[in-house]
Amino acid sequence: MAAMAQAQITVFAAASTKTALDEAAAAYQSATARTVTISYAGSPALARQIQLGAPADVFLSANPGWMDVLQQEGLVDPASRLDLLTNRLVLIAHGNGAAPLDLSAADLGGLLGEGRLAMALTDAVPAGIYGKAALMALGQWTAVAPKVAQAANVRAALALVASGEAPMGVVYATDARADSKVSVIAVFPEASHPRIVYPAAAVAGGNAAEAKVFLEYLRSPEARDIFLRHGFGVLAE
């Protein structure tokens, strides 16, 4: 029983990694007979749970900021930390085949009309923070800010657009690929927002041995192929 307990790991991961990480974890479990339990949410919600003592072994954040907070508080092992993934920020619309949009010329506020722009929490969740920064850089934020429908995480924002509750939304490119009921109508210039980086680290007080094995797997060629296929950029070698 002790050996079985040691072969279990709990991962707290940013909601935007769900589709790819589910596949990677399934492959890991199949290859190693280890058990992986993954809790997905917005990075700030996960960080706060770790601050409150939630039993996590690995944290995968959608931006360095929340990882920095936990590292400063001694809640993750800095020696285990690695920058794992990158992503792109896109504007999506409900349905298939929506017409492309030139973000540098479009009046996004006018195009929304009475509709809402779905975004993750713009002052807390990485996708929302990146999205707000990009819209500000493009001179669009003042017009769209009153029309933003804020969601708890980026997958919740995606769901608002997929269901038609919001005509447009700002999500990661990987999220857009995960739902056939939305179309990418524009890609935000990378220079319009801070670089999107996903760091991962072992949580202090967790199962350090299993966390090390899992983090090594996330850097493996097999995991790399999975992340690339789902649209992520891979930083870790």
Q: Determine the Cα–Cα distance for residues 104 and 83; give it in Å rounded to an integer.
A: 31
Model confidence pTM above 0.85: yes
The answer to whether 2-86+197-234 and 89-192 have equal CATH topology is yes
How, if at all, do strands 197-202 and 82-86 pair? antiparallel
CATH fold of 2-86+197-234 reads D-Maltodextrin-Binding Protein; domain 2 (3.40.190)
Contact status, residue 128 vs residue 120, Cβ threshold 8 Å: yes
Domain range annotation of the chain: 2-86+197-234, 89-192
Q: Hey, CA dihedral for 195, 121, 17, 12, is it positive or negative?
A: positive
Q: What is the pLDDT along the chain (237 residues), one digit of tens a residue?
A: 344 445 799 999 999 999 999 999 999 999 999 999 999 999 999 999 999 999 999 999 999 999 999 999 999 999 999 999 999 999 999 998 899 999 988 999 999 999 999 999 999 999 999 999 999 999 999 999 999 999 999 999 999 999 999 999 999 999 999 999 999 999 999 999 999 999 999 999 999 999 999 999 999 999 999 999 999 999 966
pLDDT at 104: 87
Q: Determine the Cα–Cα distance for residues 210 and 7; give it in Å rounded to an integer.
A: 7
| DSSP H stretches of helix in the chain | 2-6, 18-32, 43-51, 64-72, 108-112, 126-137, 141-144, 154-162, 173-177, 208-218, 221-229
Q: Which of 185, 145, 193, 142 is nearest to 167 (CA)?
A: 185
Q: In what order do the strands lie in the sheet with 168-172?
A: 148-151, 117-120, 168-172, 89-94, 182-187
Give the side-chain half-sphere CA count within 13 A for 110: 5
Helix (H) or strand (E) holding 83: strand 82-86
pLDDT at 6: 58
- What's the CATH superfamily of 89-192? Periplasmic binding protein-like II (3.40.190.10)
